[in-house]
């Protein structure tokens, strides 16, 4: 049976909407499905790394204009605070936007629709359809046949699980995120406070609201703790909050650290993008950039396949080239934050050598290649 759609995209988060937008703009017949109804929330620190701005620009002036008009905060750098309270600031060369995911994701979803993608909400995909070994569509309440299926359905992607093994790799952490008004001393910086155990990320997201993410080992979360009491054990945070000024309830997520063995279906016909393909740890704040940049790579590969029958494996290779060093940097940092004494030492080194703080913040902000922060000279400077 011939497919009604060139591509069915499962998930209308940043990865799915950005992929659908680019495919539809190039003339493909695209169906974008999401189980949620928008605006929908997502546990996140809601900071778009500076290089995300460049991708949003490429998605079209309407997209970046809508983000800029949604009263986002503008961050000029990141403060890293060690368990003792010692702190260092690394600055971006430019700035990054930060805004609630309810607004950001709704802008992207609307842009995909405006570009010509058909969007259906409240549709939960359960299974994949196959035709002679290749993925040929998805099954929800109805069946949707497509030449290509894009799994952009996030951390617990059903498309990824149907395509093959999803590895759960350590460290096993969970996160609790909230929006709080009137947090003291929040200006134009994102803040990462490392504790014993866990860490807290916080930063402004516009309109006087701060997003607060508490990330702790899974085992610590199971012992049970109250959100604001936990925040008070971080010296750089204690006393800055008024629990009564919470403006959005606490959302929980995790454990994360997932890695799909196949970003492209073995028999063809499907690929994964964004968290559905991989997500390690939120500390470096690169998830949205990876989703958007991954969407560019996915759209290019899909358009080549639709036009010439080229293999989707080109996408797997493009991802390795684009993200290989970033994956390594994310892992090095994600593992290091589980060692408070090591973070104490690294922050001490960066206080003495601020250029290392700027380099690390720019590498995790995707402003300079991640590999620039992974040279023996830089690593030695950070720990020796
Ligand atoms: C605590 C925390 C803090 C973070 N902070 C940051 C940060 O500050 N900056 C940053 O860049 N990144 C951050 N991240 C990472 C970022 O949130 C993700 O990387 C990003 O949301 C990935 O986008 P996505 O489109 O792949 O997935 P998602 O945004 O999760 O979107 C997936 C979509 O798929 C839909 N879906 C799921 N299953 C189905 C199904 N079966 N059928 C149909 N639809 C389905 C969902 O409803 C959802 O809309 C953070 C993550 C966490 C956990």
Identify which of 15, 33, 41, 44 to mutate to test ligand 1's pocket (most ligand atoms within 8 A of the CB): 44
**DSSP class per residue in 314-363:** HHHHHHHHHHHHHHHHHHHHHHHTT-HHHHHHHHHHHHH-HHHHHHHHHH
Token pair 């993925």 in the structure block, residue: 135
294 Cβ below 6 A of ligand 1: no
287 Cβ below 6 A of ligand 1: yes
Dump pLDDT digits (tens) for 264-295.
999 999 999 999 999 999 999 999 999 999 99
| pLDDT for 2 | 64
Q: What is the mean pLDDT of the chain?
A: 95
Q: How far apart are CA 232 and CA 228, in angstroms?
A: 6
Q: How far apart are CA 258 and CA 277, in angstroms?
A: 8
Question: Exposed (0-12), middle (13-18) or buried (19+): which is 384, by Cβ within 10 Å?
Answer: exposed
Identify which of 10, 11, 96 to mutate to test ligand 1's pocket (most ligand atoms within 8 A of the CB): 11
Q: Where are the alpha helices (DSSP H) in 60-157?
A: 61-68, 101-114
Please tell me the residue having the least CA distance from ligand 1 atom 31: 13
Dump pLDDT digits (tens) for 80-92.
999 999 999 999 9
The percent of residues in the chain predicted with pLDDT above 70, rounded, is 98
Q: What average pLDDT does this structure show over 132-156? A: 97
Measuring CA to CA, which residue among 38, 69, 41, 75 is closest to residue 56? Answer: 69
Distance of CA 287 to the CA centre of its chain: 2
288 Cβ below 6 A of ligand 1: yes
Query: Left (φ > 0), alpha (ψ -120 to 50) or beta: where does 68 sit?
Result: alpha
């Amino acid at each position: 049976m011939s497919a009604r759609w060139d591509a069915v995209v499962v998930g209308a988060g940043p990865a799915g909407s950005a992929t659908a937008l680019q495919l539809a703009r190039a003339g493909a017949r695209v169906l974008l499905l999401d189980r949620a109804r928008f605006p929908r929330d997502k546990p996140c620190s809601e900071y778009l790394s500076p290089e995300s701005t460049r991708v949003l620009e490429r998605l079209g002036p309407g997209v970046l204009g809508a983000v800029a008009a949604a009263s986002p905060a503008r961050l000029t750098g990141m403060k890293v605070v060690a368990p003792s309270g010692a702190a260092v600031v690394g600055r971006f060369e430019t700035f990054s936007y930060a805004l609630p995911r309810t607004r950001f994701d709704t802008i992207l979803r609307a842009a995909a629709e405006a570009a010509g993608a058909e969007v259906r909400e409240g549709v939960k995909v359960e299974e994949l359809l196959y035709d002679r070994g290749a993925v040929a569509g998805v099954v929800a309440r109805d069946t949707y046949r497509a030449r290509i299926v894009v799994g952009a359905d996030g951390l617990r992607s059903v498309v990824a699980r149907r395509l093959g093994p999803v590895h759960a790799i350590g460290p096993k952490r969970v996160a609790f995120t909230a929006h709080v008004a009137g947090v003291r001393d929040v200006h134009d910086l994102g803040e990462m406070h490392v504790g014993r155990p866990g860490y807290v990320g916080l930063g402004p997201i516009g309109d006087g609201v701060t997003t607060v993410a508490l990330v702790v080992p899974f085992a610590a979360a199971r012992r049970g703790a109250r959100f604001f009491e936990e925040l008070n054990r971080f010296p750089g945070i204690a006393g800055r909050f008024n629990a009564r000024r919470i403006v959005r309830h606490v959302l929980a997520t995790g454990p994360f650290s997932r890695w799909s063995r196949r970003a492209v279906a073995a028999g063809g016909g499907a690929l994964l993008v964004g968290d559905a393909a991989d997500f390690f740890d939120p500390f470096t704040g690169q998830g949205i950039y990876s989703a958007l940049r991954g969407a560019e790579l996915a759209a290019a590969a899909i358009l080549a396949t639709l036009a010439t029958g080229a293999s989707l494996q080109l996408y797997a290779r493009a991802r390795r080239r684009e993200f290989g060093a970033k994956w390594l940097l994310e892992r090095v940092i994600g593992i290091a934050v589980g060692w408070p004494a090591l973070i104490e030492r690294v922050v001490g080194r960066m206080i003495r050598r601020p250029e290392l703080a700027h380099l690390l913040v720019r590498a995790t902000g995707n402003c300079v290649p991640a590999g620039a922060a992974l040279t023996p000279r830089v690593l030695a400077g950070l720990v020796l």
